[in-house]
Amino acid sequence: MFSSVLAAIALAISVTPQSTQTPEETAIYAADYRDLAAAYATAPKPVIVSIEVDRRRNVVRVTGTAPGIWFSENQIPVGLEDDSGQNIGGFLAHAPHTFGDDENESWAFAVNIHIRPGTTPATVIVSADEVAGEWGDVGPPPTPSFRFAIPAETR
């Protein structure tokens, strides 16, 4: 009995799902993937304008700009890490424009990130928002992110 259960589990693990896509659909999804990856590569990079750490309120205010392509659904994730690389907070900044504007136009963003007392932010991470859509088996290209070190005197 036990060996038949193990055999069934091994069989279930070894079976790979078959694609339901036609070769034409796969080619379209792959082309869309390449187009979006190229758009990310050629878009302007995010810029951090200021980082203010308010120890009294345990808030880090991050302001910057990023290209419209990074603001899928009109938002952009901004996170914080400490010196050891641990995530210590994050928030979604919202763009002042509506989704669909020029992807290469830089939009301003500002976000207040609350941190636990005693934590020291060392890095700001700005990531492109996840892109929704039909990607088939290809899946969307990885969203880029940029890391900005917080100067020691600002921490």
Residue 23 confidence (pLDDT) above 90: no
- Per-residue pLDDT tens over the stretch 54-112: 999 999 999 999 888 888 778 889 999 999 999 999 999 887 665 555 666 788 899 99
- Per-residue pLDDT tens over the stretch 127-142: 988 777 777 777 777 8
Name the token pair of 54: 């308010």
Alpha carbon distance 112, 37 (integer Å): 30
- Taking residue 11's Cβ as centre, other Cβ atoms within 10 Å add up to 9
Q: Spell out where 56-105 has E strands.
A: 59-67, 75-81, 87-94
What is the share, in percent, of the chain residues with pLDDT greater than 90?
A: 37
Alpha carbon distance 48, 65 (integer Å): 7
Domain ranges of the chain: 20-149
Alpha carbon distance 123, 126 (integer Å): 10
Q: Is the pTM of this model over 0.85?
A: no
Q: Domain 20-149 maps to which CATH number in 2.40.300, 3.40.50, 2.60.40, 1.10.3470? A: 2.60.40
